Chain A
Amino acid sequence: MTETLDIHATVRRQSKSEGTATWKYGVGSGVLSICAFALWAYSVGLIHVYRSGPSGLVAELPIVWWLALVLAVAAVASGLLTKAPCALTMLAPILVFTLVLHGTLLAAEPVPRFGPAYQVAGFADYFKTVGHMNGRLDARMNWFGLLSGAGMAAKAMGVPTTWFLRWSPAMFELSYLLPIKSLGNLYLRSPRARWAVLPLFLVGNWIDQDYFSPQAVALFLYLVVLLICVRTLGAQGSRASLSARISDLGVFRSLAGKLWGALGVPGRAMPLGKSEEVVGPRTRGAALGLVFLLVGVSVASHPLTPVVLCIALLALAFTGRTRLRISWLIASLGVITWTSWVAKDYWIGHLQVVFGGVGNVGGTVAATTSRHIASASFGREMVEGARLTATLAIVLAAALATFLLWRRSGRSWDLVLLAAAPGVIGALVTYGGEVTLRILLFSLPALCLLVASAVDQGGGRRGLILYGGVLILLVALFPLTRYGNEGFETFTPGDIAATEWVYSHVPRGSTILTEDFTETLGMSHVGYYHLSELGPAVLASPRVLKQILPNGPAWIYVTRSQYSETTIYRGFPGNWLKRFEANLAGLPSVRRAYVNSTAAVYYIEFH
């Protein structure tokens, strides 16, 4: 009886001391978060985004911003140091961490950034005003789910579609955290590991695909579909799975036994993650309906995401993690139906463009990396080097964490397959030379979950060092990896003013020549003008330029952002804009119709 009382007293004392420690760390992380937020809010006023050079914004970040970043990391670390982190201790640090990392550009820039985001807003505006699809205007119109949805919402909200642009990246980042946290709750054992995955994802996602775009929405839907499939429709440990049948084969067992022995890992490891929820057939039916809805919307919104989703669902069916074994088939049928019905205008005649890189994985990856590294300046090389380092770091850390987990008799083939499955699309499409970035984007949640498993219970010091090392490395590289394109992805209020001048003064049906299509010109009035790209013609001599320019009437639209993009990213000479403007001034048929501090519009008359 006395022993029982002693045990009770010890447990009470222990829980009381743990509670006090949690309270202390909670207050600590809260105070650090408030300080970090205050410093960050002050620092964004000191950032001059238009002074960014080839290495991006990193050289322009004031010391106060760095201090805010250090405090935000300290707040997250303080929250994670508690034995059982909870929403009370982690919510504020995660919010501030998101704001510091992904909100800096949005708060520091006077107008929303990134040309493709303006184009998406333009397509949405087309739906808002016209209300029907025209795939001949642009290939992206064929996957109009988000575009029509945004147009409809903007009309109901009483705002222009550009309203969505400014804070979309931070909002998307926060929305991704919800399904990732839920996947963490399912796959990771300790509360610390479940929370640790979130800062890692935030700092690992430098890929810049979270702007207002179909792929940003589709990534969220992708994560939620996977979540429903492994949770409400989950079926962990099913012996009928294909992977279980293969692993039971005699040949495989003897080969695997030798290999596992050589690696020093157990042959029979426990699967990571909780068992499925016990739900009735009605709930399963409703969940199936939701999967249908989300897959359908994803298919209608983005060409690439549903393909990756098919591969990921096939991987889950292979491991027997989901009851919905034919989900990949449903998604595949959806993709084929949409492509054959709505998007046929695009793929007929473009098969070589879409599937030209089939089987040429090395060429596709090399094209993606060399395209970015080809730029000559040291600043650009530094940015691209930082991105490669960050990518390699997280992939290697995930591999090492998987190995550590396996040695502790845990396995996570679902996560490994979810991380590897998007790589299959690298063998299928080039996606305009961006496929490697997209693979990383889709793999990142699973990679982060794998790295976070290193801090799971029993992970030991090595696991903590691995997680902490990767997190600190990624935080240190983040200003280069994420803000590295700032020099040529910003727009000025002058650019927007010139665009609005064009909308109000240039007649519908006119030809407008620009250096590059990815401009604010597309933010509205889609299909009003014949846009023509000048490209390297801006470097031509006055005599050649006269021959190149159309015999009026036409307009030329020149901005500071075009100048930055061409000089920093495409290696144009630093004086091209002055020379081009001087050359235009020398042509009698060209006159300047509009000018402000960062943009000009020229009119070409008949000559």
Chain B
Amino acid sequence: MSGMPFQRTGEREHPGAARILCSVGLSNAVVSISAAVFTLADWHNAARPYVVLVALLVGTGWAIVGWIDVACEFSYLASVTLATGLGVAILLSICLVVLRWWHPAVSVGALLCVSTASNVCLAGRSVRGSRGARYHR
């Protein structure tokens, strides 16, 4: 929350920022796929509630916000990511209720798989950005 901006729109000029974004994408992908496995396999363990919650809020949020090129600092990005994750989860549940198709575990599992794919793509995009920066230098 330092307020130090890192220009995501210009990440090609900042390989350090690209590395951070790549790590964030990969971490979210790992958490999301773990949560998807826990949920779909109905595997009960002490870590499951925390992993699924983090994946739903942060993983899903970042899977969307990561594609939006806003120049911002940590607090802004974290706020929007958490709110988006929360919003997507609530929207999904509303859809399940309205459509009268209440299969929460399957739906959350599917959402987390999509979010994993998006996070992997985001990490890949950051790597490409960082390589591009090295090439240009």
Contacts and interface: CB of A to CB of B under 8 A. Distances in A.
Contacts of A155: 104-105, 108
B93 A290 contact: no
Interface stretch (B16-24, B69-77, B115-123, B127-135): B69-77
A153 B56 contact: yes
A552 interface: no
Given A132-B100, A221-B87, A290-B65, 9 more contacts: A144-B97, A148-B93, A152-B107, A156-B39, A159-B49, A185-B76, A223-B79, A280-B69, A283-B68
A138 to B, nearest CB: 16
Interface in A101-142: 127-128, 130-133
Nearest to A223: B79
A152 B97 CA distance: 10
A148 B76 contact: no
Contact of B94 (A148, A223, A282, A287): A148
A98 B3 CA distance: 20
Contact of A156 (B69, B87, B88, B109): B109
Given A185-B75, A191-B3, A293 B53 contact: no
Contacts of A130: 102
A553 interface: no
Nearest 3 pairs between A and B by C-beta?
Answer: A131-B102, A156-B108, A149-B90
B97 A132 contact: yes
B82 to A, nearest CB: 6
A103 B27 CA distance: 29
B105 A149 contact: no
A296 interface: yes
A337 to B, nearest CB: 13
Contact of A290 (B1, B52, B80): B80
Given A156-B104, A159-B49, A221-B86, A181 B1 contact: yes
B83 A220 contact: yes
Contacts of B75: 178-179, 181-182, 185
A152 B106 CA distance: 10
Contacts of B89: 149, 152-153
B30 interface: no
Contacts of B107: 152
Nearest to A342: B98
A90 B75 CA distance: 14
A277 interface: yes
Nearest to B38: A158
Given A87-B2, A157-B48, A185-B75, A175 B82 contact: yes
Contacts of A32: none
Nearest to B45: A158
Contacts of B100: 131-132
A129 B31 CA distance: 26
Contacts of B65: 290
A87 B93 contact: no
A179 B9 CA distance: 21
A418 B108 CA distance: 36
Interface stretch (A226-234, A259-267, A328-336, A594-602): A226-234
B136 interface: no
A194 to B, nearest CB: 6
Contact of A133 (B70, B72, B97): B97
Contact of B86 (A163, A191, A217): A217
B90 A300 contact: yes
Interface in A162-205: 163, 175, 178-179, 181-182, 185, 191, 194
A127 B104 CA distance: 10
B84 interface: yes
Contacts of A296: 87, 91
A63 to B, nearest CB: 33
B93 A127 contact: yes
Contacts of B87: 221, 290, 293-294, 296-297
B36 to A, nearest CB: 10
A436 B20 CA distance: 44
A378 B33 CA distance: 57
Interface of A: 86-88, 90-91, 127-128, 130-133, 144-146, 148-149, 151-153, 155-159, 163, 175, 178-179, 181-182, 185, 191, 194, 217, 220-221, 223-224, 227-228, 231-232, 277-280, 282-283, 286-287, 290, 293-294, 296-297, 300-301
Interface centre among A130, A153, A231 (most CB of B within 10 A): A153
Contacts of B114: none
A137 B75 CA distance: 40
A294 B86 CA distance: 9
Contacts of A179: 75, 79
Contact of B71 (A151, A191, A277): A277
B20 to A, nearest CB: 14
A293 B93 CA distance: 14
B19 to A, nearest CB: 19
Nearest to B51: A157
Contact of A144 (B48, B86, B94): B94
B42 A277 contact: no
B52 A146 contact: no
6 contacts: A152-B92, A175-B82, A287-B70, A293-B84, A297-B94, A300-B94
Contacts of A127: 93, 97
Contacts of A144: 94, 97
B110 to A, nearest CB: 11
B97 A158 contact: no
Interface in B26-62: 35, 38-39, 42, 44, 48-49, 52-53, 56
Given A178-B75, A181-B75, A297 B90 contact: yes
A516 B68 CA distance: 49
Contacts of A128: 104
Given A175-B82, A287-B68, A293-B84, A182 B91 contact: no
B96 A148 contact: yes
A163 B53 CA distance: 12
Given A185-B76, A283-B70, A286-B67, A156 B94 contact: no
Given A131-B102, A133-B97, A227-B79, A91 B1 contact: yes
A145 B67 CA distance: 26
Kindly name the residue among B65, B74, B79 whose own CB sees the greatest number of chain A CB atoms within 10 A. Answer: B79
Contact of A151 (B68, B83, B104): B104
Given A133-B97, A283-B68, A145 B52 contact: no
Given A152-B96, A159-B49, A297 B76 contact: no
Nearest to A146: B90
A449 to B, nearest CB: 14
Nearest to A298: B87
Contacts of B96: 131, 148, 152
